[in-house]
Chains A and B, each alone.
Chain A
Amino acid sequence: MTDNAPMVRFDGVRKTYGPLTVLDELCLDIARNEKVAMIGPSGSGKTTVLRMLMTLERIDGGVIYVEGEPLTHMERNGKLVPADQRHLRRVRAKIGMVFQQFNLFPHMSAMRNCMEAPIRVLGLSRKDAEARAAELLEMVGLGDKKDHYPSQLSGGQQQRVAIARALAMRPKVMLFDEVTSALDPELVGEVLNVIRKLGTEHNLTMLMVTHQMGFAKEFADRVCFFYKGRIAEEGPPQQIFVQPREERTRQFLCAVLEAG
């Protein structure tokens, strides 16, 4: 596996809910350390892409590869069969996700939220997990709040803890599912700053579904515009935001600008 191989590859991936096709033969390659923003109207399939990569949804067709290995399938005798638990967990360990609703564990302090999975899953000692958690919380600017419970933190602070928690597992790919949509406007900036910091200071492949067009334009390496389960247009932010080739892209951006 060379360094040129894509970090994540979607190969003809389909997802259906009954008669509704949410993702239609999606083909998408994401390079190592690439930052990709996914935009589009609701129901266009962009959140589904993230959730399938995080194995929260099942694939109805096609294969997802992570670092050259299939995610939900394994190779057996040269054929692809559904993956067993061991394989799944091994490949899944490379991926981390931050949710729109934060999903912090309410019965644990910020510190413990960040320590729990490293101890249980990675087998870190309490001391090491604690050190790692403290460092990450410091990085997201919440070093002094590490013993606070989620209910004592603002939305922006909770989301930053959620980011630290995901990072504690040292994933190679980080997924961000509309992570500022549930925040009051004045708290959005602090979360975006942390994400920006992650992009510059860490070697992370980042996939984000977002409505923050300004941020996407400035931060992303590539923007994918989703429409009805397919990528209608993709390219560098300059192209998508300033000179979109597709009519649908243009229409969507106009509507978003009007609303914002």
Chain B
Amino acid sequence: MAILLAFAAGVVLASYAGFREFLPGLIEGAWVTVQITVLGAMLAVVAALIAALAKMYGPWPLRWLAIAYIEIFRGTSALVQLFWLFFVLPHFGIVLEPLTVAVLGLGLNVGAYGAEVVRGAIQAVPRGQWEASTALNMSRASALSRIILPQALVAMIPPWGNLFVELLKATALVSLITLGDLAFRAQQMNQTTLRTVDIFSIVLVIYLCLALVLSQSMRALERWAARGIARGRVA
């Protein structure tokens, strides 16, 4: 299915000769998009791990901090968060570069959703694993880091894959805080040349291709991580 789509995309691209003038600018924009996605993804994973562990095992001040973080970033949309960081922080003396705002805002946003994924994966590890660790007299921290988390990490990869695709799509929002990503370039070109259908068609196809590459990579990652572990996953 995916290959079919990618092929169709390639055909569309190739057959429209007029597209060539747009491509360089759009590719530059796409590169910015990819950078934000990768950096944002790294921040999201770190934030999600910290928040989930704090929420599940931390002392109560940390737990409440984690809960507040998760609720606030899930309860408001990415655009609101980006605008807040971009427009409001300067009032408190903190002026951030658009790129920093983008990575911070999107990373923390996806991280809040990711915390639930992490929590779910840890709780999905069979109880027997905890019991076996206790029977071997391992400390809770040891059991968590050596036995539970490695298994949870494998289970997490598919949902994280979905979250990363959401992150990729959300990067389009940074065009609204003047960052020169793919969406920004598209809008620019649209304003100047008014060739709306052409431009946005390619742009949509580029996003689609990026999303496909992302999800295929995550699937490959999952296959690598799960080597040896029986694929008898709980539904």
The reply to whether A and B meet directly (CB within 8 Å) is: yes
User: B146 contacts which of A55, A106, A120 (Cβ < 8 Å)?
Assistant: A120
Complex contacts, A101 vs chain B, CB 8 Å: 128
B193: Cβ under 8 A from any A Cβ: no
User: B230 contacts which of A106, A116, A117 (Cβ < 8 Å)?
Assistant: A106
User: A169 contacts which of B136, B228, B229 (Cβ < 8 Å)?
Assistant: B136
In the assembled complex, the CB of B132 is this many whole angstroms from the nearest CB of chain A, namely 4
Complex contacts, A109 vs chain B, CB 8 Å: 228
Roughly how many angstroms separate A258 CA and B202 CA in the complex, as a whole number? 74
User: B228 contacts which of A151, A165, A166 (Cβ < 8 Å)?
Assistant: A151
Interface residues in B182-235 (C-beta closer than 8 Å to A): 228-231
- Knowing A106-B151, A106-B228 are in contact, say whether A99-B138 is a contact too (CB < 8 A): no
A32: Cβ under 8 A from any B Cβ: no
B139: Cβ under 8 A from any A Cβ: yes
Roughly how many angstroms separate A166 CA and B150 CA in the complex, as a whole number? 21
Residue interface mask A27-56, B partner, CB < 8 A = 1:
000000000000000000000000000111
Complex contacts, B129 vs chain A, CB 8 Å: 103, 105
Pick the most buried of B126, B131, B132, B150: most chain A CB atoms within 10 A of its CB. B132
Roughly how many angstroms separate A92 CA and B131 CA in the complex, as a whole number? 13
Complex contacts, B139 vs chain A, CB 8 Å: 89, 120-121
Residue interface mask A59-86, B partner, CB < 8 A = 1:
0000000000000000000000000000
User: B142 contacts which of A92, A102, A120, A169 (Cβ < 8 Å)?
Assistant: A120
B147: Cβ under 8 A from any A Cβ: yes
Complex contacts, B229 vs chain A, CB 8 Å: 106-107, 149, 151
Count residues of chain A with CB under 8 A from any CB of chain B: 30
Question: Please, which residue of chain B has its CB at the minimum distance from the CB of A55?
Answer: B134
Complex contacts, A6 vs chain B, CB 8 Å: none
- Knowing A107-B151, A165-B136 are in contact, say whether A99-B142 is a contact too (CB < 8 A): no
Instruction: Name B residues whose Cβ lies closer than 8 Å to a Cβ of A.
Output: 126, 128-129, 131-139, 142, 146-147, 150-151, 154, 228-231
Name 16 interchain pairs, CB-CB below 8 A, sorted by A. A89-B137, A93-B137, A97-B135, A99-B128, A102-B128, A103-B132, A104-B132, A105-B132, A107-B154, A117-B137, A121-B142, A151-B230, A152-B228, A165-B136, A166-B136, A169-B136
